[in-house]
Structure 1
Amino acid sequence: MTPKTSAFSTVFQPGRVAVITGAAGGIGRATAEFCATRGMKLVLADFNESALLAAADAITAQHGTEIVAVPTDVSQRAAVERLCNSAYERFGEVDFLMNNAGRSGDGGLFGDPAMWDAILGVNLWGVIHGVQAFAPRMMAAGKPTIIVNTGSKQGITQPPGNTAYNLSKAGVKAVTEALAHELRSSAGCQVQAHLLVPGFTFTGMTRAPTDAKPAGAWTPDEVVAFMAERMEAGDFYIMCPDNDVTRDLDNARMLWSAMDVTENRPPLSRWHPDYAEAFKAFLAARGL
């Protein structure tokens, strides 16, 4: 087995360049703050122009960071290409790319087609556009760089309900796995890919009506600290726990979901009443 390697210590250095989408709030904003504390130059993108500019101003005021803010609709290929060109024209390189922009919405199986288009456009096509626009130039640079795509546990276990969101994040997983394979199969390539899989995180997409953080949720800063730790360790799958769900429980849920196929059970059997006791026994056998 090949030992894990990490470009983390090389990439997160003063003067290196980070591009982050969905940077106006949540995990994207927290990642921008983290990069700023490391002395990196930032290219920040978000669909919400006023929130993006406010975030850029606040980070600059606190850290003195050199920032380019580029309002961007990542669902549009041309917009992401403009973002890429802006980064290279200003700084001449991109060392860390985080395709993080995301959106939620009522994407039930028979829901509004326009909502499906919006969710898939941002969550899945936004990542594809980011990878296709940036990765070839990062690969050609011939130096250690990192790409992180933000997925979701819902893209792995597929809980009933928001099918459009599940599909979008399942697609992000597939794209990022394919990216990692392409990178390691390209001679001389020093770009590394990671799939960030947050747990329950208190962000703009998950806020309760009271704006009070649920006890079970992590903050975006906690997610980013964990992401940094696992990138440094060389993990591809950055599976974040939270205050309610441990990594062991996540692993068991994902294994059960995969075994729906291998055991020829009904799909989504974790939520099937006939399999409720079997799932409880499955967890109990693992001390959960």
Structure 2
Amino acid sequence: MPAPTAVFSAGKNALITGAASGVGLAVAKLCASHGMNLHLVDNNASLLGEAKSKLTGKGSLETHEMDVSSLKDWNSLQSQLKDTKLDFLHLNAGIGAKGDWTDSAYFHKIFDVNFYGVINGINTFFPHFEGNSSDAKAIVITGSKQGITNPPGNPAYNASKSALKTITEHLSFDLAKSSPSTSVHLLVPGWTFTGLTGGGGTKTKPDGAWSAEQVADHLYKKMDEGKFYVMCPDNDVDWETDRKRMMWTMGDVVYERMPQSRWREEYNDEAAKTMDGMKLGAKQGQ
């Protein structure tokens, strides 16, 4: 069985959504460095042009301006790639927005892009990865820690990323049976600076943030280790802290606490003492 990172090979075909900037562009650079043929998808034509100028490699490079929430656009892309067999699919496009409980458009927009943008991609290109028992292929879906620890403040975003976690887990389970050489990975970045929206508009990376390239490097490392969950630390929050936060969140269910207890005043002391005293065994390498 080939290692998942064998997919990063000259001549193999990669498609990345949200590829014009940030993590998507960083993963595109990773693919290009291995000589892969690239198909970059984004809804921003100007940024796609800039991204194209930043990528160098021996493989071919095509850009596709489209809306990932549109099935019509996905069908058009499928037609454009009818003679191409994908080896690497990174469904990375996503948005953040704020709204309140009376704002139906907020919920629909977040789910249309963050959730159905991924579902559309899986539906469209699933046949490229099914029934694969020899060549290394991979599907990467970008999630969020907010979809796991569920902090207050943005319910639609958190719910969309939580749904992606569930979908990606099912995809991994099903393809492990039918397509043992297709690996599936849930990429969960930490605080990541893109130079576009990170740091409140500043062009200087804050000390606590990782660069998008660090996230791409971590993805490669964890894929090489055969990991499904690619949990990225950053310079402020290490893996051990992430683990404790996730364990506390699950404890709300197990110990019948109120939901989102870590942010409720009545649980402040208990949360601080419990998390400080947690012993979780071996740490993940970083």
Q: With the length of structure 2 as denominator, give the TM-score of the two structures.
A: 0.92
Question: What is the CA–CA distance in structure 1 between the aligned matches of 2:265 and 2:2, rounded to whole Å?
Answer: 44
Identity of aligned residues (%): 40
User: How far is 1:6 from its partner?
Assistant: 5.9
Select the residue among 172, 179, 184 that pairs with 1:180: 172
1:283 maps to which residue? 275
Pairing 1:161–2:153 present: yes
User: Does 2:123 align with 1:132?
Assistant: yes
Counterparts in 2 of 1:73-152, with a 5 A limit? Answer: 73-89=67-83, 92-108=84-100, 110=101, 112-140=103-131, 142=133, 143-152=135-144
User: What does residue 9 of structure 2 align with?
Assistant: 13
Alpha-carbon spacing, 1:169–1:107, altered in 2? closer, same or farther (3 Å): farther
Equivalent residue of 1:105, what SS? Answer: coil
C-alpha separation in 2, matches of 1:9 and 1:256: 33
2:47 aligns with 51
Residue pair 1:6, 1:232 contacting (<8 A) in 2 also: no
Does the Cα contact within 8 Å between 1:6 and 1:234 map onto a contact in 2?
no
Report the equivalent of 2:284: none
Q: Is residue 224 of structure 2 the alignment partner of residue 232 of structure 1?
A: yes
C-alpha distance in structure 1 between counterparts of 2:183 and 2:259, whole Å: 34
1:41 — aligned with what?
A: 37
Indicate conservation of the 8 Å contact 2:34/2:57, yes or no: no
Distance 1:20 1:250 in 2: 27
Q: Which residue of 2 aligns with 1:258?
A: 250
* Contact 2:4–2:183, Cα closer than 8 Å, also in 1: no
Distance 1:247-1:157 versus aligned 2 partners, 3 A rule: same
Q: CA deviation at 1:257?
A: 0.3
Give ranges in structure 2 of 5+ residues lacking alignment.
281-286
Between the aligned partners of 2:259 and 2:180, the Cα distance in structure 1 is: 39
CA distance in structure 1 between the partners assigned to 2:208 and 2:275 by the alignment: 20
Please report how far the alpha carbon of residue 111 of structure 1 lies from its aligned counterpart in structure 2 after TM superposition.
5.5
Deviation at 1:30, TM superposition (A): 0.5
Cα 1:9–1:157 change in 2 (3 A) is: closer
| TM-score (ref. length: structure 1) | 0.91
- Aligned-residue RMSD, C-alpha: 1.8
Find the aligned partners of 2:278 and 2:225 in 1 and give their Cα distance: 26
Cα distance between partner residues in 1 of 2:177 and 2:132: 16
1:193 is the counterpart of 2:193: no
Displacement after TM superposition at 1:74 (Å): 0.6
Bigger Cα displacement from structure 2, 278-287 vs 218-227: 278-287
The aligned residue for residue 71 of structure 1 is 65
Tell me which amino acid in the other structure corresponds to 1:190: S
Deviations 1:240-277 (A, max 9, x none): 00001011110000010001001000000000101000
Contact 2:10 2:59 in 1 (8 A): no
CA distance in 2, matches of 1:251, 1:231: 19
- Which residue matches 2:193? 202
- The match for 1:25 is 21
Per-residue deviation, residues 173-209 of structure 1 (Å, max 9, x unmatched) = 01100101111132x5421110000000012343413
Do the aligned partners of 2:5 and 2:223 also contact (CA within 8 Å) in 1? no
Residues 69 and 221 of structure 1, relative CA distance in 2, 3 Å threshold:
same
- 1:242 and 2:234 correspond: yes
What are the superposed Cα offsets for residues 199-254 of structure 1, whole Å, 9 maximum, x if unpaired? 00012343413333221110000000001000010000000000010111100000
- Looking at structure 2, the residues matched to 6 and 154 of structure 1 have their Cα atoms a distance apart, in angstroms, of 32
